[in-house]
Amino acid sequence: MAYRYYNPNKRSRNDRGDCVIRAISKITGQSWSETYWELCLQGYLMGDFGNENSVWDSYLKGLGFKRRVIPNQCPDCYTVRDFCYDHWDGSYIIATGSHVVAVINGDYFDSWDSGNEIPIYYYSR
């Protein structure tokens, strides 16, 4: 279970607001640009922006992903790192209140070490 640097958007700094695009591109194997444009199209069809929760939720569900809520038994102590330890096999997209992270086989991929963030829900196929 380890942090792995991942930033396919070579034109931005590491901390830009494109975490949804980065996470989805990593999990689906699409390029950053392809994911960006597909989310833009989904947003256009829904009358909203591509990085809005409802838009990328709809996009992922269209790709066959299911959304699951993380139990709220310890809301401040269960981290992205803990999720990776519990989900060491498979591919997941984790959402916190303000961030989105890709997880593959227990490693989390991000442009910064987000291991201490608190996940709320996740997607898997």
The rounded distance, in Å, linking the Cα atoms of 95 and 70 is: 10
Residue 11 domain-assigned (yes or no): no
Residue 62 domain-assigned (yes or no): yes
In our burial notation (b when 16+ CB lie closer than 10 A, e otherwise), range 96-108 reads beebbbbbbebeb
Q: Are 101 and 109 in contact (CB under 8 A)?
A: yes
**pLDDT score at 72:** 80
The rounded distance, in Å, linking the Cα atoms of 102 and 122 is: 10
Q: Are 14 and 80 in contact (CB under 8 A)?
A: no
As for how many domains the chain has, the answer is: 1
Q: What is the pLDDT of residues 59-87, one digit of tens each?
A: 999 999 999 999 887 767 899 999 999 99
Residue 105 belongs to domain spanning: 17-124
Q: What percent of the chain has pLDDT over 70?
A: 97
Residue 12 domain-assigned (yes or no): no
**pLDDT score at 30:** 97
**Predicted TM-score of the model (pTM):** 0.93
